[in-house]
Structure formats: structure tokens, C-alpha cells
Amino acid sequence: MAEARAVLSGVSDAVELGLALSAKLGVGLVRPEIRPFGTWRIPSIKKGSPYWSTLWYVHESLDRMSGYIDGRKFLDTIRQEPWQEAGAHYDIAIVHHNLTDDSDKMVQDGDIQYSLSSTSEDLAAVISTKQIRTVNDDRQRREALTRLAVHSFGHVLQTTNRSGPTVRLAYGEKHCTNAGCVMRHAATTAELLALSSDEADSEEWFCNECSEAMLRHLLRNHFSVN
């Protein structure tokens, strides 16, 4: 429950920032509904059938030999779900397994490889709590998870989808290099804790450039012909 609250806190902060930025331009974006479903199941769908429960997403993407979840497969199940076809929306999933991703997006941390999260632009993010749970301090663990949620959601909102000297390709994705910005990349838990501490006094999660990129993304979706 505490982990879910930490993630929700980060997602809510990002949403509120987007609304505030659009309001400054005189554009009233509709406040999106945030639905924390938790671990759900649909009683009308037979157990084990596609999309009957969150457990099905795990079953479809879990490598039973390694115990890791394939982040790309998990995201594909979200991309193909009937609810995306009925009405496009963002999904943020939390799993307690380690994640694999494309090889260039994984980090070698000691004797294990993993990715803290897997993301797909304009669609979804899946976040692993496996390594973050190794942090003993409750406050640090919570703050690190919130930062990871905001960072991952930032990729979904295409905050670094720009060119210029303040973005660089790291671990297969564009990341920001501006001081204090949540879109700086943390590959390991130790790096995540360090950046979380560094950003503790920042007034905003995102730098101006990332905020503007996020706003452009939200406005494109808002005024899309679809």
C-alpha cells in the first residue's frame, strides 16, 4: 500500500504540473481521472483467460526460469488490451519482480542485471520495486520510488522527446542533463537514491525544457482529431 501511495503521489504531481502549465497558456485541459485499481480481477471473465486479472499480465510476461518480468512483453499486453482500443489512456503498473528490457536499457549492478522500469511513449510504464525494497530507510525508499514513478511517467509524456545539448542518449532512451531535473537517468538503486537526494530541494520535478515538452505532448493529445 505504501508503495502504491508513493507512485500515485508522483503521478499526481506530474498531472497537476501539466494542468498548471496549460492554464498559464489559457488552455483548460480536462483533469484526467486517476484510477488506482490495485490488484484486480473481472469476475465475469473465466480465470486464466486473456485480461481476466492483473495476474494474467504477469503470467504473460514472466520468465519462470529467471523470475524476471519482461518489461517489453508487459507493455505489449497493455498496448493490445481491449480497454486501450475502447479509449486510449495511460497505464502505470507496479510489480515486485525484477524487470528485463531491451539489452541496451539494462544495467549490470554487481552480479545481477535489471531495469528499474520499462516505458512506452504515450502508453504506459511498468515499475519494479524489487531493487528499491533493498533500501532500509523508509523515507529514502519512498522518495526513491516516487522519483522513479515521475521519471517513468515523464517518458510516457515524452518530456525528453527533443533535440539539443540538454538531452543525451543513455541506456537506449533520451534523458535530460539539466541540474535538478527528474528526467536525469538513474540506472541503479544507488544512483536513484543519489539523484533523489540531489533533487530534494527542487521546487519542480521537471526543468523548464522538459516541462515545455510535456505540455506540447499534452496539447497534441488534447487537440488531436481523434
SS3 per residue for 152-172: HHHHHCCCCCCCCCCEEEECC
Cβ(127)–Cβ(69) below 8 Å:
no
Count CA atoms closer than 13 A to 202's CA, side-chain side: 18
Mean pLDDT of all residues in the chain? 90
Digit-coded pLDDT (tens) for 32-61: 777 877 787 888 888 888 889 899 999 999
CA-nearest of 178, 173, 168, 171 to 211 is: 178
Determine if the pTM surpasses 0.85.
yes
CB 97 within 8 A of CB 126: no
Percent of the chain with pLDDT over 90: 66
Higher pLDDT, 108 or 37: 108
Give long-range contacts, CB 8 A cutoff, 24+ apart: 190-196: 192/116, 192/132, 192/144, 192/147, 192/148, 193/135, 193/140, 193/144, 195/147, 196/140, 196/143, 196/144, 196/147
Write out pLDDT tens, residues 57-84: 999 999 998 999 999 999 999 999 988 8
Q: Could you tell me which of 8, 4, 17, 6 has the C-alpha nearest to residue 159? A: 17
pLDDT beyond 50 at 226: no
Dig out the grid coordinates for 209 from the structure.
Answer: 525544457
Residue 223: what pLDDT? 60
Residue 162 CB partners (closer than 8 Å, separation 6+): 174, 209, 213
Specify whether the CB–CB gap between 118 and 76 falls below 8 A: no
Give the sign of the dihedral formed by CA 148, CA 153, CA 155, CA 161.
Answer: negative
Sign of CA dihedral 76, 77, 80, 83: negative
Q: Cα–chain-centroid distance for residue 213?
A: 16
